[in-house]
Amino acid sequence: MIVLTINGQETQVDVPDDMPLLWVLRDVIGLTGTKFGCGIAQCGACTVHLDGQAVRSCVLPVAGAVGKKVTTIEGVSGTDLGKKVQQAWLGIEVAQCGYCQTGQIMAATALLAQKPTPTDADIDTAMSGNLCRCGTYVRIRAAIKQAATGQMTLPQTIA
């Protein structure tokens, strides 16, 4: 039995030590907000927080999460910062298919927790590991800035 702390709750799972946290979350516990995109830490769709740090759960053996606080998209709105980021995502209308967005939001929240007013370079560093095939990058950048500054903008350019 492995004991995990997920979104503030203790959860027991009976899985092999080397099973990636992603599949424990999705297939065993049923938290499907964390997504599978590549399985090799190249896309960021599976990003969760481990003690506040953004990690790729597809390559994190579940044993590595023991004794640490796991936060998933389902739990991130429990923090002020998480809420703020989600609000910005809604405000900017970032999502298209939305599949990558939970991972993007987790990465962005971890960034803002470390750097409340990130520069463009900080955003590049923190977010370039998260792929979006729908190509929402321009709005992701805008949403992070909105979350940081609190200034509402609506992405719209009409001649």
Partner 1 sequence: MTHRTHPAEADTDLLDPSRRELLKRGGLVVAFMWLGGASRVWGLADSARIDAGHPQFAPNAYVRIGNDGSVQLVMPSIEMGQGAYTGQATLLAEELDVGLDQITVEHAPANRKLYANPLLGEQATGGSTTIRYCWTTLRNAGAAARSMLVSAAAQRWKVDASQCTASRGLVTHAPTGRTLRYAELADAAAKLLPPDKAPLKDPSDFQLIGKPMRRVDTPGKVDGTLPFGIDIRVPGMKVATVQACPTLGGRVGAVDDTRARAIPGVLKVVKLDSAVAVIGEHFWAAKQGLEALDITWNRGANANFTTEQLFQDMAHASEHGTPIMGREVGHVDGVSGKAISATYQLPMLAHTTMEPLNTVVHVRPDACEIWVGTQVPARCVDVATKITGLPAERIMVHNQYMGGGFGRRLFEDSVEQAVAIAKQADYPVKVIWTREEDIAQDRYRPAYYDRISATLDGQGQPVAWTHRTTGASVMAVFAPGAMGKNGLDPDLVECAADLPYAIPNMRVDWVRHDMPAGVPVGWWRGVGPTHNVFVVESFVDELAHAAGKDPVAYRRDMLGDNPRARAVLELAVQKAGWGQGALPARHGRGIALAAPFGSYLCVVMDVEVSPQGEIRMKRAVAAVDCGTVINPNTVEAQIQGGLVFGWSAALYSGITLKGGAVEQRNFNDYRVLRLNETPPIEVYIVPSKEQPGGIGETGTVMAMPSLTNAIFAATGVRLRTLPIDTTALVQDKNALKAVMSAVSEPADIVGDVAAKARSLA
Partner 2 sequence: MKIGRLIGRLVALILLVVIGFSAYALLTVRHSGDETATQPTVAGAPAELTTPQARGEYLTRAADCAACHTVPGGQAFAGGVAFKLPMGTIYSTNITADKDTGIGTWSDDEFVRAMHAGVNKEGQPLYPAFPYTSYTALSRDDILAIKAYLFSLPAIHAPARTNELSFPYNQRWAISLWNAAFLKKQRFQPEQGKSEAWNRGAYLATALGHCDECHTPRNAAFALKTGQALAGTELQGWKAYNITPDKDHGIGSWTDQELASYLSKGHAAGRGTASGPMGEVVENSLQYLTPSDISALVAYLREVKPQAGGISVPPAAATGSAPVASTAGLGEQLFVGACAGCHLDSGQGRQTDYASLTGTRSVRDPHATNLTQVILHGSQLHVSGQRIFMPSFGHAYTDAEIAALSNYVVSHFGGQQGTLSAAEVAQRR
Across 49-73, b (16+ Cβ under 10 Å) vs e yields bbeeebbbbbbbebebbeeeebbbb
Instruction: Order across the sheet with 2-6: list the strands.
Output: 9-13, 2-6, 69-71, 47-50, 53-56
Residues 71-110 touching partner 2, rule: CB under 8 A, are none
Yes or no: say if 45 and 103 are a contact pair by the CB < 8 Å rule.
yes
Minimal distance, residue 9 CB to ligand FES, in Å: 23
CA angle 6, 10, 15 (to 5 degrees): 80
Q: Which of 8, 52, 78, 155 binds partner 1 (CB under 8 A)?
A: 155
10 vs 57, beta carbon nearer ligand FES: 57
Residues 89-148 touching partner 1, rule: CB under 8 A, are 89-91, 93-102, 105, 123-125, 127-142
Applying CB under 8 A, does 47 fall inside the site for partner 1? no
Which span (24-32, 49-57, 72-80, 140-148) binds partner 2, by CB under 8 A?
49-57
Pick the closest to residue 145 from 157, 133, 137 (CA basis).
137
Residue with token string 């805008």: 142
Say how far residue 141 (Cα) sits from the centre of its chain: 15
Which span (1-9, 75-83, 126-134, 149-157) binds partner 2, by CB under 8 A?
126-134
46 binds, among partner 2, partner 1, ligand FES, none (CB under 5 to 8 A by kind): ligand FES
Yes or no: say if 49 and 8 are a contact pair by the CB < 8 Å rule.
no
Residues 95-154 touching ligand FES, rule: CB under 6 A, are 95-101, 132-134, 136
Binding interface with partner 2 (CB under 8 A): 17-18, 40-42, 44, 50, 53-57, 59-61, 64, 121, 124-126, 128-129
